[in-house]
Amino acid sequence: MSGKTMQIRNLVLIGHGGCGKTSLAEALLFGAGATSRLGKVDDGSSVLDYEPEEIKRKTTISTAFHHYQWKKHTVYLADTPGDDNFLADTRAALHVADSAVVVVDAVDGVKVGTEKVWETANHYNLPRLAFINKMDRERADFHQALKEIREVLEVQAVPIQLPIGREAGFKGVVDLISQKAYMAAGGGKVEAGPIPDDLKDEVEVLRGDLLNFAAESDDALIEKFLEEGELTSEEIYQGLRVGTLKGSFVPVLCGVTQNQAGAALLLDAINFFLPAPEDRGQIKGQHPTSGAEVAVDADPDGPLAAQVFKTVADPYAGRLSIFRIYSGTMAADSTILNANRAVPERFGQLFLLEGKGQKAVANLGPGAFGAVAKLKETVTGDTLTAEGKPLVLPAIPSSRPMVTFALEPKKQGEEDKVFSAFSKLIEEDPSLNLTRNAETKEILLSGVGSVHIEATAEKLKRKFGVEVNLKPPKVPYRETIKGSVKVQGKYKRQSGGRGQYGDTWLEMEPLPKGSGFEFVDKIVGGAIPRQYIPSVEKGIAEAKNTGILAGFPVVDFRVSLYDGSFHDVDSSDMAFKIAGSMGFKKGMEQANPILLEPVMKMTVTVPEENMGDIIGDLNGRRGRVLGVEALGKQQVITAHVPMTEVLLYAPDLISKTGGRGTYEMEFDHYEEVPPHQAEKIIAEARAAQEKE
């Protein structure tokens, strides 16, 4: 199998939002001749940012795919989002990639977004290159950006290029390996020339470092370098490639995307330094039934193994499943096995994605990002294999939703439409979650952030014609009692003909937290006939759904029916049901009713330097900190906080931690609302009821 995939590359462009990943991808595609014009994000002509939501925001929301040929190599690339709201898509692409090009803005340097995607690339041990972009911008600083890559990302960054000129005077780069200067010559061309005199000393120092790194990766090269003090360009490339694949260091390039200075050299560097599928070693999965480990080679002639890592819902073409092939060859018009679900899947055309467009191909092998339409059972994360040789590849980690909004259709009666459209969008974006709260009767949409949810609502309107309003969710308060009382609930009506008569004596008392509602029958001596007692319980059970304070359900109390009276003719189930509910309402008023609020258990993960601020903020939200634990460089704070205080917590946490903080929360228990807050909630609830 050796060498069968050596001319294949598979890479993901990663970096913080706005660092120029998409523009760099456009420059690579144009430079390699895969596109006929240089697409630009700013004027909406980008091949890769083609969704209306992306054009409007001038940012990547969904990973886009393309491919190109360069010097006999086939390269499959994915351009990923850098915005926190859409990182679930980026992480899914990194899960299936062989390598990454990390784009760093020469003005902004390494930002939180860079750190987040870098950590994910570390998790997958991906070999990578770094590209310092926007070298022609005001305040662009190659050396500062390089320093931040080394210090913040904690990596051995090895420059293989040096910029010529600064900011608007940026002209090109010195290639430290060939010791030539490459200047932009217009029309996308780059011309080689001698190194400018003012850079010669710096080039000499940096080249010395480069030779050391190249030599250290390979024993034979160390010997030669120690004896001769020099290596050929081929040997430098060989040494740097070995070190890059091992993850010992990251080669650093620089440039700008608009005049192609740097794109041609980056195309070469991708071929030289990044791994072929076979360089990544065997792919390990599990047998779907026995659970035994199964390993496959990145061999086009081996058994098929591919993983679907993204699904696109198209109202016209149906579902598009995007996958990465690890082993074997997939051909158009085939039947394959979905190993996760043990079902065969038949498909017709096989595609390579080209941004918005698709190119039908006869077959695809290891390393390819491919797509097929209308698979019936397959969802994101599933493994597609040959029927006789099934394996299940490791699952794609899911992102936990951090923000929840209530949504309502703008048009009445469109709830079913909302649910069916969302089920398709959730296939496309598994970091979304849609639920219905039975108590507040609201449809709740959870996502990674506010922008994520707003962009989803826009996509819902564009793709499925469904419009929704977003608002903070209602808090499911409860009511209970603190005192014990004995009350009479009596219902008597006389109006021509048969009357209605039911008379009950009830004892109401509080129960411990979480007990719910208990009904006790203490009737003796037939004070109320047996057949009416269930009606009394039913009357109370229905009435407790609407408390007297603010109309919230009443919990944690016991009602004992201990006495009463009846009428031979006028008593009925209905009369005793009404009597029970009247007694309950009267008892509630007298038994010191209080309001309860849901309290959430929160786990907030923040950098150490933000810990004091965050604990102070949680205390300010009436929170109770339960404990703090160290997790690497982060601190994990556990706290109980009232739900109403953290409905919109995400934006505050992001601003207080510069985007480094994350949190998870789940319902824990109910607690009494402090009196001054209770008054406000009760007044608001009553005003809302009057409106209705």
pLDDT-based confidence at 50, cuts 50/70/90? low
pLDDT-based confidence at 173, cuts 50/70/90? very high
- Expressed in percent and rounded to 5, the helix, strand and coil fractions of the chain are 30, 35, 35
Domains and CATH numbers, the chain: 8-280 (3.40.50.300), 283-385 (2.40.30.10), 403-471 (3.30.70.870), 478-591 (3.30.230.10), 596-683 (3.30.70.240)
How far apart CA 17 and CA 81 sit, in angstroms, is: 7
At 62 the pLDDT is 84
Q: Which residues pair with 436 in a beta bridge?
A: 443
| Residue 143 reports pLDDT greater than 80 | yes
Q: What is the pLDDT of residues 397-428, one digit of tens each?
A: 887 777 889 988 888 888 888 888 888 888 77
| Cβ density class 541-550: b for 16+ within 10 Å, e for less | bebbeebbbb
| Cβ density class 34-62: b for 16+ within 10 Å, e for less | bbeebbebeeeebbbbbbebbeebebbbb
pLDDT, average across residues 29-53: 77
Q: What is the pLDDT of residues 61-88, one digit of tens each?
A: 789 999 999 999 999 999 999 887 788 8
| Cβ density class 565-583: b for 16+ within 10 Å, e for less | ebeeeebbeebbbbbbbbb
3-state SS, 142-211, equals: HHHHHHHHHHHCCCCEEECEEEECCHHHCCEEEECCCCEEEEECCCCCEEEECCCHHHHHHHHHHHHHHH
**Whole-number Cα distances in Å, 422 to 50, 124, 376, 431:** 21, 31, 18, 12
How far apart CA 160 and CA 251 sit, in angstroms, is: 6
Tally helices (H) and strands (E) across the chain: 16, 36
At 141 the pLDDT is 95
At 261 the pLDDT is 57
Torsion angle, CA of 381/384/390/395, rounded to 10 degrees?
-10
Q: DSSP label at 112?
A: H
- Residue among 272, 385, 372, 379 nearest 339 (CA): 385
| Residue 162 reports pLDDT greater than 90 | yes
| DSSP letters spanning 625-680 | EEEEEEETTEEEEEEEEEGGGSTTHHHHHHHHHTT--EEEEEEEEEEEPPHHHHHH
Residues 129/272, Cβ–Cβ less than 8 Å: no
Residues 94/124, Cβ–Cβ less than 8 Å: yes
- Residue among 337, 341, 329, 277 nearest 304 (CA): 329
| Residue 49 reports pLDDT greater than 90 | no
Tokens, residue 178: 């060939």
**Whole-number Cα distances in Å, 277 to 97, 128, 289, 307, 328:** 9, 14, 27, 15, 12
- Compute the residue count for the chain: 692
Backbone angles phi, psi at 70, to 5 degrees: -145, 115
More confident residue, 579 or 208: 579
Q: What is the pLDDT of residues 444-496, one digit of tens each?
A: 998 888 888 888 888 888 888 888 999 989 899 999 999 999 999 999 987 76
Torsion angle, CA of 225/227/229/235, rounded to 10 degrees?
-30
Q: Which residues pair with 503 in a beta bridge?
A: 490, 565
pLDDT-based confidence at 572, cuts 50/70/90? very high
* 240 three-state secondary structure: helix
Q: Which residues pair with 357 in a beta bridge?
A: 354
Q: What is the pLDDT of residues 341-395, one digit of tens each?
A: 999 999 999 999 998 888 999 999 999 999 999 898 898 999 999 888 889 999 9
**Between helices 219-228 and 233-246, what is the axis angle to 10°?**
140
Backbone angles phi, psi at 242, to 5 degrees: -60, -45
| Residue 537 reports pLDDT greater than 70 | yes
| Residue 396 reports pLDDT greater than 60 | yes
Tokens, residue 229: 């003090």
How far apart CA 478 and CA 673 sit, in angstroms, is: 10
pLDDT, average across residues 292-319: 87
Q: Which residues pair with 321 in a beta bridge?
A: 311, 372
How far apart CA 12 and CA 128 sit, in angstroms, is: 9
More confident residue, 280 or 189: 280
- Residue among 565, 411, 552, 437 nearest 501 (CA): 565
How far apart CA 443 and CA 461 sit, in angstroms, is: 17
| Residue 1 reports pLDDT greater than 50 | no
How far apart CA 256 and CA 106 sit, in angstroms, is: 10
At 219 the pLDDT is 83
- Give the torsion sign (CA, 257, 27, 202, 164): negative
At 2 the pLDDT is 57
Tokens, residue 217: 């990766």
pLDDT, average across residues 205-214: 90
pLDDT, average across residues 519-529: 93
- % of the chain exceeding 70 in pLDDT: 97
More confident residue, 57 or 612: 612
Count of CA atoms in the C-beta half-sphere (13 A) of 289: 3
Q: Give the predicted TM-score (pTM) of the model.
A: 0.81
What's the mean pLDDT when you consider all of the chain? 90
Tokens, residue 281: 């070693």
